[in-house]
Amino acid sequence: MLWEARFLLKVQNLVYIFEEGEFIAMKKVAIFITLACVVMISPTVLAQDWQPAGDNWIEKWWGLDLVTETGGFTTSAGVDYLSEGSGGVISNASVSTRDGAGKTANIILKSPTNGALLGWSIVNINVTDQFNISSSHGADGNVIRDVTWHGIIAIISPDDRTTTMHPAHDDHAQIWINGEQVYDNSVWTGGAQSVTTPTEIQLKKGENFLHFKCGESGGADYVNLHFEPTDTDLLIAPTKDNIFLNVLTPVEPKGKLATQWADIKRQ
Ligand SMILES: [Ca+2]
Ligand SMILES: [Ca+2]
């Protein structure tokens, strides 16, 4: 699209510089580019293969490599590994906003526990597996312990609404939505699909971001989340075909970051 736009800009410039002057040419080119974006981009956005919401357990997350050697969930719950590992560029709260979530595209964290380098990628969880914290990162749940799992989803809502989220977790789960912590429960829920504390949340029209952190000490290790049966109109990313940041509307240009987002506008 860019190549085509530049080409037409050159052609039209040549024509209009001679005929009507540069100002008019630029104005027409701007209109052309705007129309081209509307025509070419809108179908792409609508065609995304979103994860279903409603009361489906969410299978795909934008996940950080496991933080290891945490000393267990009692310790890890009090540590912001995202902030410490990034020198404050992101944090537990900030990655539940579009700005912070966007920055994960460019950030490798250095774990404050052992210096390991941690990156973000699409993570698939087996929603029936009581060791899905481990298995989602290719580790053996029977042996792994003292790790912390971090995952982000985007939730695109057609309206402002109050609804209920249903988290399952082993062990200590903390959840942030749109920059605010909404959940803090140190007690494992008793099964990969067992929920003890359904929690009312607010979603706003458009994009919402949710960050799920779970600290594991030993034994079973799992995370899971679903919304309400009435929430089937919510759209969840990562999409079923593993797109996360590129389905979101772009942030204001901030140096390199802007190139990591789709260079398109939804409307
Ligand atoms: Ca456990
Ligand atoms: Ca375990």
- Ligand with the closest atom to the CA of 147: 2
CA of 245 to the centre of ligand 1 (A): 31
Ion ligand 2: residues, CB < 5 A:
141, 144, 221
CA of 154 to the centre of ligand 1 (A): 27
Using CB atoms within 10 Å of the CB of residue 143, give its burial: 0 to 12 exposed, 13 to 18 middle, 19+ buried.
Answer: exposed
CA of 238 to the centre of ligand 2 (A): 25
Look at residue 167 in the predicted model and tell me its pLDDT.
98
Partners of 153 in the β-ladder: 210
- Single pTM value for the model: 0.78
Token duo for residue 228: 């309400």
Look at residue 41 in the predicted model and tell me its pLDDT.
47
CA of 137 to the centre of ligand 2 (A): 12
Give the count of alpha carbons within 13 A of 247, CB side only: 26
Query: Tokens 């042996």, residue?
Result: 143
- Ligand with the closest atom to the CA of 188: 1
Look at residue 75 in the predicted model and tell me its pLDDT.
98
CA of 68 to the centre of ligand 2 (A): 12
Helix H or strand E segment including 34: helix 22-46
Look at residue 248 in the predicted model and tell me its pLDDT.
73
- Ligand with the closest atom to the CA of 173: 1
Which residue stretches of the chain have pLDDT < 70?
Answer: 1-46, 249-267
Q: How much of the chain, in percent, has pLDDT values that exceed 70?
A: 75
CA of 220 to the centre of ligand 2 (A): 5
> What would the pLDDT profile of 53-111 be if each residue is shown by its tens digit?
999 999 999 999 999 999 999 999 999 999 999 999 999 999 999 999 999 998 999 99
Closest CA to 3 of 40, 45, 47, 43: 40
Query: What is the CB neighbour count within 10 angstroms for residue 75?
Result: 15
